[in-house]
């Protein structure tokens, strides 16, 4: 097994849905096979689409996931799907280099320039230490994140005056622990929506300076929905409750859908006058149609 980088575009020419699958040609089969059962990060290149002249890509790592299986593409004998689980968006995207320092050493030539040949590979195997550095740069290091590292109190060993230093779990291990994932997902969704409820437009901050808006999964976790901003909505508590119970939903054009006869008049008055969601500034963070469709078909009572 090995750690890897999978490259995917904003408008992929392949049948990618990074939260669930990565579509790739036979050229990269051996490298992808090495990552099965291990972990990868996703990288977004400069080209935002399959057009050679396109730009707009962030040239940054943006999420982590765990590949678990490879299947044939039934439409093409030369292509495959890598299926992934435990997808998690980074709290902040990570540029491929910091000044003159490259996070993947293989991307840097001996003279300090960029190794374009290595950069051109859509799947790359990454050393453990470099992979850990990419993950660490992608997530916040505040105490609330790292509180999940230590499961039991520290007890001094007999004969020693000071307790041993707490064990600090590697970042890769933290990304599969639910408390850490919950915090990272909540922060990413709140930041994308500027702490504003997508349905009502309300931006409430409590007396302690914390936002009251919650991060809701569109396709619920119990239904195998991923911890992706594209599977999230920032919602106030009451709206979150109603969304989870199918009293509200969202159309693919971002129109807010209401279950007839189920909404109190007081709630109706809170909904955006436009009848549409307040969306993140970055279209790449808008709700994905696949998850909106799932919610309408499996949760919505309209």
Number of domains in the chain: 2
For the residues 138-164, what does the mean pLDDT come to? 50
Q: Are residues 194 and 122 in the same domain?
A: no
Quick one: which of 55, 96, 89 has its CA closest to 280?
89
Whether residue 157 is contained in a domain is answered as no
Residue-level pLDDT at 144:
47
Residue 70 lies in a domain: yes
Q: Is residue 214 part of a domain?
A: yes
pLDDT digits 0-9 by tens, 156-215: 444 445 444 444 567 888 888 888 899 999 999 999 999 999 999 998 777 677 778 999
pLDDT for the residue 151: 41
* 198 domain-assigned: yes
Q: Both 197 and 106 in a single domain? A: no
Question: Mean pLDDT in the chain?
Answer: 86
Rounded to whole angstroms, how far apart are CA atoms 98 and 190? 26
Question: Over the stretch 19-63, which tens digit does the pLDDT of each residue have?
Answer: 999 999 999 999 999 999 999 999 998 765 444 444 567 889 999
Helices (H) and strands (E) in the chain, counts: 9, 12
Residues 211 and 283 in one domain: yes
Tokens for 279, please give them. Answer: 């969306």
CATH number of the domain enclosing 48: 3.10.590.10
| pTM, full prediction | 0.84
DSSP string, 116-176: HHHHT-SEEEE-HHHHHHHHHHHS---HHHHGGG--S---PPTT-SSPPPPP---HHHHTT
On whether residue 97 sits in a domain, the answer given is yes
Domain residue limits at 72: 3-138
């Amino acid at each position: 097994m090995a750690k890897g980088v999978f490259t995917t575009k904003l408008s992929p020419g392949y049948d990618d849905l990074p939260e669930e699958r990565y579509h790739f040609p036979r050229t990269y089969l051996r490298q992808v096979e090495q990552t099965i059962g291990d972990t990868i990060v996703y990288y977004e290149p400069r080209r935002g689409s399959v057009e050679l002249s396109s730009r707009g890509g962030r040239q940054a790592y943006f999420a982590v996931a765990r590949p678990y299986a490879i299947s044939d593409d039934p439409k093409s004998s030369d292509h495959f799907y890598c299926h992934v689980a435990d997808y998690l968006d980074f709290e902040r995207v990570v540029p491929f280099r910091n000044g003159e320092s490259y996070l993947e050493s293989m991307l840097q030539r001996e003279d300090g320039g960029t190794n374009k040949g290595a950069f051109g590979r859509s799947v790359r195997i990454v050393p453990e230490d470099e992979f850990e550095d990419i993950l660490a740069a992608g997530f916040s290091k505040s105490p609330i994140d790292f509180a999940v590292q230590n499961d039991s109190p520290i007890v001094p060993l007999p004969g020693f005056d000071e307790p041993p230093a707490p064990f600090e779990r590697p970042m890769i291990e933290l990304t599969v622990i639910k408390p850490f994932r919950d915090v990272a997902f909540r922060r990413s969704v709140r930041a994308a929506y500027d702490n504003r409820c997508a349905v009502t437009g309300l931006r409430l901050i409590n007396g302690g300076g914390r936002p009251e808006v919650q991060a809701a999964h569109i396709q619920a976790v119990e239904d195998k929905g991923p911890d992706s901003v594209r599977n999230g909505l920032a919602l106030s508590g009451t709206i979150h409750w109603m969304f989870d119970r199918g009293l509200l939903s969202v159309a693919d054009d971002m129109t807010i859908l209401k279950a007839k006869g189920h909404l109190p008049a007081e709630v109706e008055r809170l909904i955006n006058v436009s009848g549409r969601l307040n969306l993140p500034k970055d279209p790449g963070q808008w709700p994905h149609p696949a998850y909106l469709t799932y919610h309408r078909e499996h949760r919505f009572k309209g």
